[in-house]
Amino acid sequence: MKELLERALDAAAAAGASHSEARVVETTQESYEVKNGAPVAAVHSAGEGLGIRVIVDGAWGFAAVPDLDRGGAERAAQQAADIARASATAAREPVRLAEAPQVNGTYVTPHEVDPVAVPVERKIDLLMRAERAMQGQPDVRITQAFLAVLRKRTHFANSEGSSYDQTIIECGGGIAATAVKDGESQVRSYPNSFRGNFATAGFEYFSDLALEAEAPRVAEEAEALLSAPTCPAGRRDVVIEGGQLALQVHESIGHPIELDRVFGTEAAYAGTSFLTTDKLGAFRYGSEQVNVVADATAPAGLGTFKWDDEGVPAQNVPIIRAGEFVGYISDRESAARLGVASSGAARADGWGRIPLVRMTNINLLPGEWTLDDLLADTDGGLFLATNRSWSIDDRRVNFQFGTEVGYEIRGGRLGQLYKNPSYTGITWDFWRSCDAVCNEKHWKLYGTPNCGKGEPGQSAHVGHGVAPARFRNVQVGVVR
């Protein structure tokens, strides 16, 4: 592949490129779903192709082809250069890139068991057993078990002499029970909603999820939700558990800190960010309990790698320190505009897409509390768990989330179950109301494998480490 990449870079230079970077990406994915006793999806996917991004006349061009041969590489390079020349006709300032160290090397996600190599029959059997263990509740009409694995090998080279061969291995899955009665449906999931939880890890990660053992509880809770009262509206103290808090971090911290979004490059699609550059080092994002990093080095995080898709090494970057906003995530172009080094967050969705500023692992660092102590200290509050719905405005200010379950907190324990809980707020007010974060014992990484951004659309795999946390005086229960 190295020769093919060099051929592409040479062709780009010959076409007038002042900078170029080429990636060959080979992807193997498997996706399984067992539903109501039968495997409804067992899919093996394989794809490969070459993408090359160039700067000609100070402007960007990119082209991608599935043909991994000399002709394909040369054709893509020429097409990218032609596109860049067209870009230059509507450019104001030449593209500038922040300096980046030259890197060379090989990386493979640490793992014990190659998930692609695990026999298909074993995968389906594990799902069938987990799915079967959810059956038996009278109104649970839909039972599902999911498994997904990914092996993505990227061969990278740029015109500055950097090159690498990086293989990312991912694995994960989950279960969901849907109870249905009189036109109403209620879903309960484990270990997270929307097909489960995911990590950069081998098959051991999926085995450790112990789906079959959790299945009866999941089904019972789905059944119980049908007869539970609707979560009452009002302002409440809430304790938010990991899966939901991960998405809260994702939407109201992870996206606003994307520096390309701050500079307006997503304005016509997902929007901009309230977090303008004048706020860097001068904005109280949250309470003193709120400490957040963007850590692409976190073991097993879904946003963990060795180098990003511009060849910049993975980093652990402070974002919020004791509530103060201190850093963005960036690529080389946006970082240059701010006069800083790239945070190593340029990530592309395969060979056919350009790198964009994407989250790595945006982690809320653990605090001091045990969950038992926190519940005991939150009498009359609500415990909200597992995302069901999400929405946030185009500057990442007003958000609204729904969760699968809510529980009244009484006497240090979870009491009355509520269905259809939801809560809403303003990003900075919400994070400033955080007065407790649970400790490392409760801290866990969640993987979001479907973070959407960009045109053409890209789906990124990102992570969020969180522990349950408490937020004071939150508006709850707005659906009805």
Interaction residues for another protein, span 248-287 (CB under 8 A): 263-271, 274
Residue 385 in tokens: 């768990």
CA distances 323 to 279, 291, 317, Å, are 13, 6, 15
Q: Inter-axis angle of helices 211-227 and 120-132, to 10 degrees?
A: 30
What minimum distance in Å lies between the beta carbon of 185 and another protein? 4
What minimum distance in Å lies between the beta carbon of 372 and another protein? 32
- 46 binds another protein, rule: CB under 8 A: yes
Please count the other Cβ atoms lying within 10 Å of the Cβ belonging to residue 117: 10
What minimum distance in Å lies between the beta carbon of 455 and another protein? 5
- 119 binds another protein, rule: CB under 8 A: yes
- 60 binds another protein, rule: CB under 8 A: yes
Residue of 102, 227, 391, 416 that binds another protein (CB under 8 A): 391
- 86 binds another protein, rule: CB under 8 A: yes
Selected range binding another protein among 58-66, 96-104, 159-167, 241-249, rule: CB under 8 A: 58-66
Q: Which residues contact 337 (CB under 8 A, 6 or more apart)?
A: 96, 259, 263
DSSP E strand boundaries for 305-348 = 316-321, 324-325, 346-347
- 64 binds another protein, rule: CB under 8 A: yes
Nearest to 248 by CA among 426, 476, 480, 440: 426
Q: Provide the mask over 394-413, with x wherever binding to another protein is found by CB under 8 A and - wherever it is not.
A: xx-xx-x-x-----------
Using the minimum distance from each CB to another protein, give the nearer residue, 178 or 378. Answer: 178
Residue of 2, 14, 110, 120 that binds another protein (CB under 8 A): 120
- 147 binds another protein, rule: CB under 8 A: no
Using the minimum distance from each CB to another protein, give the nearer residue, 91 or 103. Answer: 91
Residue of 37, 110, 234, 299 that binds another protein (CB under 8 A): 37
- Cα 331 to Cα 312: distance, rounded to the nearest angstrom: 9
- 14 binds another protein, rule: CB under 8 A: no
Q: Which residues contact 223 (CB under 8 A, 6 or more apart)?
A: 137, 138, 139, 140, 177, 179
What minimum distance in Å lies between the beta carbon of 336 and another protein? 13
One-letter amino acid for residue 270 of the chain? A
Using the minimum distance from each CB to another protein, give the nearer residue, 81 or 100. Answer: 81
- 478 binds another protein, rule: CB under 8 A: yes
Cβ(343)–Cβ(295) under 8 Å? no
- 213 binds another protein, rule: CB under 8 A: no
Residue of 13, 42, 113, 340 that binds another protein (CB under 8 A): 42
Q: Which residue has the tokens 């003193």?
A: 288
- Cα 360 to Cα 447: distance, rounded to the nearest angstrom: 10
Nearest to 362 by CA among 473, 266, 258: 258
Please count the other Cβ atoms lying within 10 Å of the Cβ belonging to residue 436: 21
- 206 binds another protein, rule: CB under 8 A: no
Q: Provide the mask over 425-464, with x wherever binding to another protein is found by CB under 8 A and - wherever it is not.
A: -x---------------------------xxx--------
- 473 binds another protein, rule: CB under 8 A: no
DSSP type of residue 436: E
What minimum distance in Å lies between the beta carbon of 63 and another protein? 5
